[in-house]
Amino acid sequence: MQAETVSVAEWLFAQPALNLTVSENATEWDNTVALIELMVPGKAEVLTYLNSNGSAPLRYAHVVVDHRATTEPYLADLLVGPLPIRNGTTRYEPLTYPYTKSAGGRVRNLDADSETMSAWFYNISASIEDITQELWGGTATGADEDTLDLWGIDPPWQDDGRIIRWTAFWNLPTSDFDVETLLPLGLYFKADVTGRDPTGWSVEGWFYNGIFYSTTDEFRSAFYSPGFVKLPPNEDGLWGQTGQRGPVPPLDTAYPPTMVAPSGPRFFVDEQQQYVKWMDFEFYLGFSRDIGLSLHDIKYKGQRIIYELSLQEAIAHYAGQDPMQSGTAYLDSFYGFGPYAFELVKGYDCPPHATYLNSSFYVRETTHTHTDSICLFEMDAPYPMQRHSTGSYVSAAQNVYFTVRTVNTVGNYDYMFSYEFYMDGTIDVNVRASGYIQAAYFANNHDYGYQIHSALSGSMHDHVLNYKIDFDILGTANTMIATTLVPVSETYPWSGGKPRNTMKLVRETVASEDNSRLLWGANGATQYTIVNTDQPNRHGEPRGYRILPSLGTAHLTVQDSSNVVNAANWATHDIYVTRQKDSEPRAAHPYNSQDVFDPPIDFAKFFDGESLLQEDLVVWVNLGMHHVPHTGDLPNTVFTTSHNGVQIMPLNYLEGDPSMESVQQVKIEYKAGEVGEVETYGQPESSCQAEWWGYKGDSVVRKFPYAPGEVYYETEDAG
Amino acid sequence: MQAETVSVAEWLFAQPALNLTVSENATEWDNTVALIELMVPGKAEVLTYLNSNGSAPLRYAHVVVDHRATTEPYLADLLVGPLPIRNGTTRYEPLTYPYTKSAGGRVRNLDADSETMSAWFYNISASIEDITQELWGGTATGADEDTLDLWGIDPPWQDDGRIIRWTAFWNLPTSDFDVETLLPLGLYFKADVTGRDPTGWSVEGWFYNGIFYSTTDEFRSAFYSPGFVKLPPNEDGLWGQTGQRGPVPPLDTAYPPTMVAPSGPRFFVDEQQQYVKWMDFEFYLGFSRDIGLSLHDIKYKGQRIIYELSLQEAIAHYAGQDPMQSGTAYLDSFYGFGPYAFELVKGYDCPPHATYLNSSFYVRETTHTHTDSICLFEMDAPYPMQRHSTGSYVSAAQNVYFTVRTVNTVGNYDYMFSYEFYMDGTIDVNVRASGYIQAAYFANNHDYGYQIHSALSGSMHDHVLNYKIDFDILGTANTMIATTLVPVSETYPWSGGKPRNTMKLVRETVASEDNSRLLWGANGATQYTIVNTDQPNRHGEPRGYRILPSLGTAHLTVQDSSNVVNAANWATHDIYVTRQKDSEPRAAHPYNSQDVFDPPIDFAKFFDGESLLQEDLVVWVNLGMHHVPHTGDLPNTVFTTSHNGVQIMPLNYLEGDPSMESVQQVKIEYKAGEVGEVETYGQPESSCQAEWWGYKGDSVVRKFPYAPGEVYYETEDAG
């Protein structure tokens, strides 16, 4: 793989028409290679290979070239291949088929002049140095001694053919903590930065404490007028820094409980093949710049259930009274998840007994490797898989599950992505968010957040994360069934002619892409299942997997967002179904933010009325978190409540619960305070086994007539 | 306590007017004592005692007398006291103030003649012995050699002044497994059992395979007619039994991971006082027949936040084409949770290092003690409390939490109740359900369930469990605020006159009991918080606790249920707020099922328009599960997906996240592949610490020009 990347890089740099410059030598007016990755082959080819021992699909590279040696800079997706490189055979061509954008395979680059623009912005902030000194005792000039920083909206406004950027002032941290997003200062300026010629760029106004000033002079004049209200800054301090502080809670310094794995890993990992097998689950891992970790060809009991399970995109959509917060709607794959899969903290991010894998990604003619950035581990859940008590026996089954995890810190936020596999055949996909919030300046922001520190508002925002689940339930011919519990008033043959208020099930198929943008629905009444209607079980019920939310919140609050326009049309509902197409491999493109009206991938265009009955289906599901930060989010957001997930659960897929295949079960029979038999089904001896022989049931003391000395035991529970 | 119960029992039996008989000697026409428990004193008295070192409230016993020595049998709630018993001072009186029922303090007993009725039912089933033999090769006659059982609807129909009971035939298990609820046979008979005189009782019809027969003769005649369709029985077998079966998954016989507690318990339990303290949380445990475990006087950092946290009731509401399933809506406190808090299975129900407590309850002049039926333990969550990565450091905090747990198996279902406490001040209240489903006979039941075995339908049902949370946030003057994220189109001073599609917060108080029956709302957009508006924090935000669902489903699907009528009016919404009153201590009464039109406690009557602004508030919150059983629920329902919870989370309650007080944190500084400093904040040494010194960040290999030998490390992440 390393050699292949090298060969593609060398070949690209040998193509004169691409006019490439090595990144470290490139100016803003040179073309560079932004990405070299393996192109994911088409599903049909892959299935032929996997299912029928067909030949392996031809290898191609997916390359992104950053074309800046032009007045209209653009990012171009290219297909390079076939590989290995052979001069004469290997060609490059625009990669267009996976994208919905009219232009196809290319999108303008609004960041081509980021260095020039940064300097231009510093000129503007330096032009009010007198004011920044007066307000905050510091400057933002681009110099080392600056104590202030500039940082603006994302994506920029793209209306009416203009590119408008609002830029905010922030205090720089004075500690080594990553606290800048907690230090807004409440001053913003608007600039029209359309085109590549800085002489055509202009400052279009200032905003401070609820008042818009249309020129710098107007703002300065107001600032020096009597009665101008100067507001306090947000400043770095212990309040924004992690680390122990305050009184240590009782017994906190003693060893807390910890998980140990006496037999070591009970799963198999082939690092070379990125293949993982745990119990009856097996799958392959993928990793890419845009989306980080992905799972492929997930088989359960030897049968594929999911062809691909992968994050597609994450949005963090803010709102506020100020243009910075209001204008912020990060689309994180622009930055990429892959580059931010940092090395995990052993014992904290993953339990002490976890196994670790590395991940790699291409950037600027280098391959970066994040050591130990993916972890795999089993856990004994703090509750059994199932249990049942009676007056004569109790049975219980252990709930050991397997997790694959990676953490991606995209800027201020840390996303912890977990894929959990359970003995009952369930897969739980979940994400937790921690890290620093991006906060707002407090003035006038009451309708958009709680005030959480002296001059800080916990800027309200939605996180929505989209996942692709390409189900293949007993083949690719699948159907989604929505089963809804509905209240009804119904008269029965036995009800004496009287209607009874009760409920029933309504089963509906999601027939076509005309009605396949779905919500979880009120009171969780609707259950979505992907089934193969041609493969009923022996009771006539179609075998399938159900998709259910672990939490209820999922999609974007904002409707028709002015920030993202068509760039996040995957965030409008909770769950979507489309027909699988190699031309629709991803719900979003990393450069969707560069042209929000006509983005490279407009997810809404996937919905073109095709039938979804017994077709190869892809489910796109959103995990969402509405976040209205409060004081408890300082210094960092806690994982306890900031999480969401979706479960993929077998439904009439097998005969009975497969977790009963495990030996990790016990049945204790008891009677009259004595244990009869303890069944341990061949599980290894544990520290609890001796205690099982002491199981008693309930002891009884007679109160009237009182007989305190005669404790006896019930033979069946009295109730 | 033991002696006190004895003294009350002796005193009661000495009151001639009560005309009591000891249970084991009682016939259906004798009065017995159904319950002796300590009466919970009024909140005002308790607060005086707790807050102001006032005198302890007077002790009273809550007694239930089962009055059967009458043609109109009834259950009477009595107050006996003050205690200790002193002849001349101690009196008994009807306990009426906590109940809404017009009659007050008493409700008819529909089960007074259960033994006579059982025999009468067996006469009916014996009268068709020829048919049961023909259909299922067995009898239901009440004899030991019966292979069939009878068991009917709950509550009985109570319309038009008549008491109607539908009774179903079930196969008895042939194994020692508790599998009967999986063995319905599809035949049902209707009986009018109004009054105490069996000669006035009558069979009113039969139902089999979708056809109603109005007399036994009609049914028999049809049965022996040509063309009568005989359907197969459900029979006990491996499919319905727990225990290992099938191929053992790979590596399953090796030791799975397990939790250990190297320092032992890091919490304090006073068994005598039933007092528990973990970190900055402390509270008292209560236990009663009706509702089992409850928590009282929950303090966080020395300040009461919750006066009472307790289960109120659980309903399991079924539906189906047959009168048995359609007529089933168990109200579990009728049976009581306390009597079914079975001894826990060590290592399965609770981790190996858990601490256990006993629980006791009164029944039939005895005190039953369930040994080790409450467990308490700390767990290290499989994810940190918070974490953040940058290109120069990574920080993380451990997430150790504390659980109090009990399992109540009410008949076929096992409810695992957990109360979890977190270092960030969050309390998580959750319930998981396992055990045997109550299944339906399969014929014609397609609209009410999946067919899950040869003649079995997984009868659809809702579980709804109501909890009382009596919040006291910085005193008893509290207000609920509903904060909703709403999409808006808004023009700002800086938006150039253009409206922007964005969102904002709408804060509303829940002003009175006229509008305090609430839903979680679509897309989780509404956040409910209990605050003290007179106690803002230093930023002006009211300090409080938020209540949020862990899962979305919460209330009953059925509207105006014909089964429960007014007996479960607490199950119609997701969350309710009322003004605290000693006359409204419970959302339900254990005998609500005995008079569903006018039950002892009709929760709807709590809502009488009182102001809820800065009043002592009680929140009643529902945890719900819609259950449409599938093959994976055989033999037992798995906990993986069958659970629900609610989190109680500090919101602007403290300055910053209190979990930062813990020493269980780490900060690793790194640069260019070398660790700079590792801060461990005084936490005890762990096996991972050596590994933290090996933290590297990402390594880089140059691809063009290719330099495979020169691996270097980034000083800041490249992205």
User: Does the distance separating the beta carbons of B345 and A399 come in below 8 Å?
Assistant: no
Inter-chain contact A188–B494, Cβ cutoff 8 Å?
A: yes
pLDDT band at A715 (very low <50, low <70, confident <90, very high): low
**What pLDDT was estimated at residue B672?**
86
How far is the C-alpha of B463 from the C-alpha of B466, rounded, in Å?
A: 10
Selected residue of B630, B655, B714, B715 to mutate for chain A interface (largest A Cβ count, 10 A): B630
**A708 in Cβ contact with B372 (< 8 Å):** no
Q: Which of A56, A101, A97, A52 is nearest to A78 (CA)?
A: A97
Q: Tell me the mean pLDDT in the region A230-243.
A: 97
Q: Is B401 a catalytic residue?
A: no
Catalytic residue among B413, B419, B422, B591: B413
3-state secondary structure of B123: helix
Partner B contacted by A26 (CB < 8 A): no
The SS3 assignment for A583 reads coil
Largest CA-CA distance found in chain A, in angstroms, rounded: 104
Is the CA virtual torsion B558, B564, B565, B566 positive or negative?
negative
CB-CB neighbors (< 8 A) of A500 in chain B: 326, 562
Supply the pLDDT for residue A41: 96
Q: Per the CB < 8 Å rule, is A389 touching B667? A: no
**How far are the Cα atoms of A394, A472, B199, B296, B443 from residue B128, in angstroms, in the given order?**
36, 51, 20, 54, 21
Q: Given this model, what pLDDT does residue B641 score?
A: 79
Between chains, do B244 and A665 touch, taking CB under 8 Å as contact?
yes
User: How many cross-chain Cβ pairs, A to B, lie less than 8 Å apart?
Assistant: 739
Q: Which residue of A has its CA nearest to B245?
A: A661
What pLDDT does B704 receive?
81
The pLDDT-based confidence of B718 (bands split at 50, 70, 90) is very low
Place of tokens 């007179």: B534
Residue in the structure block whose two tokens are 């009464």: B589
SS3 B374: strand
The 10s digit of each residue's pLDDT in A607-642 is 999 999 999 999 999 999 999 999 999 999 999 878
Active site residue B528: no
Identify all chain B residues contacting A658, using CB atoms and an 8 Å cutoff: 246, 632
Give pLDDT tens digits for B224-256: 999 999 999 999 999 999 999 999 998 999 999
Q: Give the contacts of A515 (CB within 8 A, at least 6 positions apart).
A: none
Q: What is the 3-state secondary structure (H, E, C) of B2-22?
A: HHHHHHHHHHHHCCHHHCECC
ipTM: 0.97
Contact assessment for residue B471 and residue B481, using Cβ atoms and an 8 Å cutoff: no
- Please tell me which residue of chain A has the smallest CA distance to B643: A550
Strand runs labelled E in B28-133 = 32-38, 59-67, 74-83, 91-94, 106-108
pLDDT of residue A717: 44
Helix axes B216-223, B129-136, angle to 10 degrees: 40
CA A84 to CA A188: how far, in whole Å? 52
Instruction: Tell me B106's DSSP state.
Output: E
B657–A633 C-beta distance less than 8 A: yes
| Unique residue bearing structure tokens 């409540």 | A641
Average pLDDT of B621-630?
96
Q: Is the CB of residue A709 less than 8 Å away from at least one CB of chain B?
A: no
pLDDT at A719: 38
| Distance to chain B for A47, nearest Cα, Å | 26
Residues from chain B contacting residue A505 (CB–CB below 8 Å) = 447-449, 460, 628
pLDDT at residue number B717: 44
Predicted TM-score (pTM) of the model is 0.97
β A674-679/A366-380 pair status: unpaired
Within an 8 Å CB–CB cutoff, is residue A158 touching chain B?
no
- Chain B residues touching residue A453 (CB < 8 angstroms): 539
Instruction: Say whether residue B342 is in contact with chain A using an 8 A CB cutoff.
Output: yes
Picking from A153, A692, A627, the residue whose alpha carbon sits closest to that of residue A437 is A627
Residues of A in contact with B249 (CB under 8 A): 279-280, 423, 661-662
Share of chain B above pLDDT 70, in %: 99
Res. A354: pLDDT tops 90? yes
Contact B340, B410 (CB under 8 A): yes
Q: Is the pLDDT of residue B438 over 80?
A: yes
Q: What percentage of chain A has pLDDT greater than the value 70? A: 99
pLDDT of B719 above 70: no
- CB atoms under 10 Å from CB of A425, counted, come to 25
Q: What is the pLDDT of residues B578-623, one digit of tens each?
A: 999 999 999 999 999 999 999 999 999 999 999 999 999 999 999 9
Taking 60 as the threshold, does the pLDDT of residue A127 lie above it? yes
Q: Give B86-140 pLDDT, tens digit per residue.
A: 988 999 999 999 999 987 799 999 999 999 999 999 999 999 999 999 999 999 9
Domains and CATH numbers, chain B: 2-95 (3.10.450.40), 114-240 (3.10.450.40), 267-659 (2.70.98.20), 665-713 (no CATH)
**A513, A612 in Cβ contact below 8 A?**
yes
- Tell me whether residues B641 and A647 touch, CB distance under 8 A: yes
- Residue contact A502–B686, C-beta within 8 A: no
Contact A552 B523 (CB under 8 A): yes
Lowest mean pLDDT among A14-18, A337-341, A537-541, A552-556: A552-556
pLDDT in the model for residue B458: 97
Q: Is the peptide bond before A635 cis (omega within 30 degrees of 0)?
A: yes
Q: Which of A 524-583 lie inside 8 A of B, CB atoms?
A: 524-525, 527, 537, 539-541, 548-555, 557-563, 574
Mean pLDDT of chain B: 95
- The residue to which tokens 């922007």 are assigned: B500
Mean pLDDT of A308-319: 98
Q: What residues of chain A, 482 to 511, have a C-beta less than 8 Å from chain B?
A: 483, 485-487, 492-495, 498, 500-505
Contact at CB, A385 and B684, closer than 8 angstroms: no
As given in the structure block, the two tokens for residue A198 are: 């800085």
Q: Choose among A159, A244, A494: nearest Cβ to B661.
A: A244
> Average of pLDDT values for A212-231?
98
Over residues A272-296, mean pLDDT: 97
Q: Choose the mutation target among A65, A252, A335 for the interface with B, i.e. most B CBs under 10 Å.
A: A252
Active site residue: A111, A113, A178, A332, which one? A332
pLDDT, tens digit, 9 for 90 and up, residues A542-560: 999 999 998 767 899 999 9
In this predicted structure, the answer to whether residue A712 has a pLDDT above a threshold of 90 is no
User: CB of A640 within 8 Å of any CB in chain B?
Assistant: yes
Q: How confident is the model at residue A322 (pLDDT cuts 50, 70, 90)?
A: very high
Reported as a pLDDT band with limits 50, 70 and 90, residue B673 is confident
pLDDT at B707: 80
Q: Is the pLDDT of residue B336 over 90?
A: yes
Average pLDDT over residues B375-384: 97
Return the percentage of chain A with pLDDT > 90, whole number: 91
Q: With bands split at pLDDT 50, 70 and 90, how would you rate the model's confidence at A102? A: confident
Letter for the amino acid at B273?
Answer: Q
At B590 the pLDDT is 97
- Which residues of B fall within a CB distance of 8 Å from A190? 494
Q: Do B703 and A362 lie within an 8 Å CB cutoff?
A: yes
Q: Hey, are the CB atoms on B537 and A631 less than 8 Å from each other?
A: yes
Can you give the pLDDT at residue A574?
A: 97
Chain A interface mutation, best of B190, B369, B374, B494, highest count of A Cβ atoms under 10 Å: B494
Band of pLDDT at residue A153, cut at 50, 70 and 90: very high
pLDDT digits (tens, 9 = 90+) for B463-494: 999 999 999 999 999 999 999 999 999 999 99
pLDDT exceeds cutoff 60 at A410: yes
CB-nearest to B242 from A340, A434, A665 is A665
Residues B509-561: pLDDT tens digits?
999 999 999 999 899 999 999 999 999 999 999 999 999 998 767 899 999 99
Tokens found for residue A377: 């581990």
Catalytic entry in A60, A330, A413, A415: A413
Determine which of A280, A357, A387 to mutate to test the interface with B (most B C-beta atoms within 10 Å): A387
